Structures are given as structure tokens and as C-alpha cells.
Structure 1
């Protein structure tokens, strides 16, 4: 290649074609003529119009009168199961627990989610705090039975099993963690003034501390509540729980007990609204 040859470098550092300088008046017959700007602009315009037409057709098919062009099997749900509803969340609390739900299926789901958080909290291990929680979330006719059942369930043997002292207090130097996080809700049955709601949850339970023999672990479970509309709000009539569905565990490195304790202290919970 002669000294007059130069390399055409692309804008991102890539190499382009080799260009040879020719004397004025001569042309490089080996290269095809470059298309004019007018033809390039025309091509862009045509492509743009086609894209707009495709988008318009797709939008028209989606925003029609609800009749799908395909078979019934090809119909998609109108909204995502986790799409926001646009309804305002509750604006009041009873005993520190969100209250004042709407008399709708969505209101029942919001109530069940917030009840799951309260019933899965560390306060449930303290009878002085447990009883007010039951009175806030349970139907009056169910409070007595649940209080009796839970008084038996939260026994010295159970406290010892989760790492607490026999009286339910936390060992010195440790921090007790019990937190429930709703992942999703659904109504499985509903009628006037009644609703059955399932709440899929993830939970944390254990002791955060350097000498803890019961470290904080994660679990997955589903809570089922039968709710009733009583005195202008939803209340839980029954409550049951089963394991799962649980995803495949990831390969995250477990954090130290100090990090867990700081996270529990530093990150507050939410008021859930479906």
C-alpha cells in the first residue's frame, strides 16, 4: 500500500474499508457509487410508516370491545395478578394494625395480608401484646377460642424450641426475629359479607446473636383465612396454615447475625393494600 493510503476508523474504534487517495479528476471505478441522501431518507420514512401501522393494528386489537380474534385458549387475563388496583390503602389503625378496609374482595385481601403480618410478628410471643392483636384482627366470636388455643401453643417447650427462655423472653445478647411478609393474595370464595382469602408468605424466625444456636432462617407457607364483614370492617373468623409453595433456594451467602439484627431494626414493615 502506498504512503497516500489511509485507514478509515469507525466511531467505536472498529476498522473500516481501506481508502486510496487518487489524483483529482480520476475516480475509483472499483467502488460502487454511494446512494444519495434522498433515497436513504425515503427508506427511513417507509420503515417508520410500517412500524406505526403495526403498532396501531396491535393497539386496536388490544383495545377492542373485549372479543378476541383467536380462540378462547389464546385469551390473556385482562390484568396482571399483581397489578396495582389504584384504590387507596387503609387510612386508620386499630391497636397499631391497619384497619378500615373496603367492603370488597380487594378489601378482604388487604385485610388478610395485614392480619398475616400481625399474627406472624414477634409480638405474638408476648401474651401482653398477643391478646390485643387477637382482639384487633379476629371476629369477636372467635377471640376467646383463639386466645385459649394460642395460650396453650405458646408453651415453655415451644419457646425453648425456637431458642427463647421458657418464659418467652429473649436470651441476653440475642435479638429475637419473627417476621411475615405476604408475597401475594387471592380470594378462593366470596359471598355477601364473607370471603375466604389465601395469603402466600415468606417468613423469618430465629435468634440473631453471636452465640445463638437458633439462627434466623427463612420459610415459605400459605395462610388461609375466612373473613366476615363485622361492624364496618373485615375480621378473621378462622385461620389455618400450610407449608409452601417454596422456591428453589438460591446460592446467596448467609449474612452474619449482626447484619440480620441491624436489618430487622432498621427496615420497617409495610401496610398492604391489594
Structure 2
């Protein structure tokens, strides 16, 4: 087996999720965010119905909200031909090379195909479920990078209202979205599988089944890091040579039975979050 620099198996035509651990990798999480920070019930003092109405067309990690209530470019060489189809085997590799582009540190340059749309949806789910969504400046950059221009303009003010100081306080964060001194905010989304429920070369709808981590790791934390399971439905549109997000909706589950594992210490969780980079996802 021979692997190219982009992780593509030239002999067997297989490629899949790759680890961006190297220095300078555009997809790796920024180091040094440490105490900085999911997706989207309601926080204490904000009803579930009101919050969901506010964020209607975008993902606010359901786990984060439930957690707050607990109280304790290119469409050419990187993709396959439009006629190719993927079977229902959710984890089967497609043989398509991972995307090579980036936009604000987020994967870009997806193929104008059903597989390309699924890859885009998976990477967008990761971006929207990351800790960068909890600070205003990085949130605006993420929303602009992955949404159509019109959708981004309409979303920014709504998201600024949704990520209010009260909501952040319910998660144990400071008013600016940072974690208290000595603690690390954890917010990560990990796609488990994707499914296109509607597809054309201009618009598509993709469901992304995800698991995630959200919470505060550190001595004295009253909101330890917990796991969640949820499914995101994303509507995508082909815009300026790439797939862009128009809207997102989210529901809980499907969730498996929890394993009988010992919970790690806050120090172990903090070290893992700071030491393990994220992935770039390709269908």
C-alpha cells in the first residue's frame, strides 16, 4: 500500500478521515485555547421554547443546553463524478480524496456531488459544535466561513442574542465565553455517520449523526464534561464553487447504552483535549 502526502491510497483507492496533528495543519484546533470554549432545552432562566426559536436555523448543541440545566474549492480533482452513489453502509469508504482547501481553518473545496455534500455537512457540524462558537469574534468568523452570505447576515444577530451572558453563565463560563481561571471548557462534536436525504447539484439535505463532549474540566468544576448524542439536519446550497450552509436543525439521539467505564479525572480530560487534535471528515 502506498500513501500520498494527502493520505490517499494509490493502490486501493481508499481514503477516509485523517488526523491533522502535524504542525501547521489547517484543520487542527488552535493550541493554547486552554480555558476557552456545542450544540443546541434551555439554560436556567431561559425556556427551551424561546431558545430554540432564537436559534431556529442554526445548531446550538442540545447537550450544552441540557448541560446548563443540570446544575451540578474545487469541484474537480478532489471528488468523484456526479453519477457515483454511496451505499447505505454508513462507514464504508467512498474512495474519494479528502478535500485540500481551507476557509478560516475549516475544510473547504468540497466536490459538487452527494458525497461532497456529506463531507461538507460533517465538517460544518464539527465547526458549529466547537468551543469557538462561544466567543463572539470566533463565532462570527465560523458563521461567515461556512454559510451562504445571506444566511450568515441573518444569523449573526440571532446567535449573539442566543449566546447571551446568561446562557454562558449557565454553562459555567464567563460573560465573554471563556472558562473560569484554572478550568478548561470542552466542546467537541464528532460525526458518526452521514446520510443525504435529498440531493441535486444546487441544493441538498444531509443528516449527520453525532456524538459530542461538553463541560468544564478542572478542579472545583460543578459541570464536568459529559457525552451526548444527536442528529443534525443541514440544508446546503452550492455557492461560489463550494457547498455552503443555509440552515440547520437538531434533535437528540439516537443514543446507545452507556458503557461501564470509569470516568476520567479532570486533569486527564484537560490533557486529552489539549493533546489530541480534531479530524477532517470526508465521505
If the length of structure 1 is used for normalisation, what is the TM-score? Answer: 0.71
For 1:233-244, list aligned pairs within 5 A.
233-244=242-253
Greater RCO (CA < 8 Å, at least 6 residues apart): 2
Question: How far does the alpha carbon of each residue in 1:143-190 deviate from its partner, in whole angstroms, 9 at most, with x for none?
Answer: 012111111110111111111123322101000100000000000111
Change (3 A) 1:180 1:78: closer
Q: 1:107 aligns with which of 105, 111, 116?
A: 116
For 1:235-254, list aligned pairs within 5 A.
235-254=244-263
Q: What's the counterpart of residue 36 of structure 1?
A: none
Return the offset for 1:78. 6.1
More helix by share: 1
Unaligned runs of 5+ in 1: 1-76
Return the offset for 1:79. 6.9
1:160 aligned onto 2:183: no
Q: What's the counterpart of residue 129 of structure 1?
A: 138
Moved >4 Å (runs of 4+): none
Whole-Å Cα distance in 2 between the matches of residues 142 and 166 of structure 1?
26
Q: What's the counterpart of residue 226 of structure 1?
A: 235
Q: What's the counterpart of residue 189 of structure 1?
A: 198
Unaligned runs of 5+ in 2: 1-85
Q: 2:186 aligns with which of 177, 183, 188?
A: 177
Change (3 A) 1:207 1:79: closer
RMSD over aligned CA atoms reads 1.2
SS at match of 2:261: coil
If the length of structure 2 is used for normalisation, what is the TM-score? Answer: 0.68
Whole-Å Cα distance in 2 between the matches of residues 243 and 191 of structure 1?
27
For 1:1-274, list aligned pairs within 5 A.
80-274=89-283
The structure with the larger Rg is 1
SS at match of 1:118: helix
More strand by share: 1
Contact 2:238-2:244 within 8 A present in 1 as well: yes
SS at match of 1:247: coil
Whole-Å Cα distance in 2 between the matches of residues 141 and 270 of structure 1?
28
Return the offset for 1:200. 0.4
Whole-Å Cα distance in 2 between the matches of residues 197 and 148 of structure 1?
25
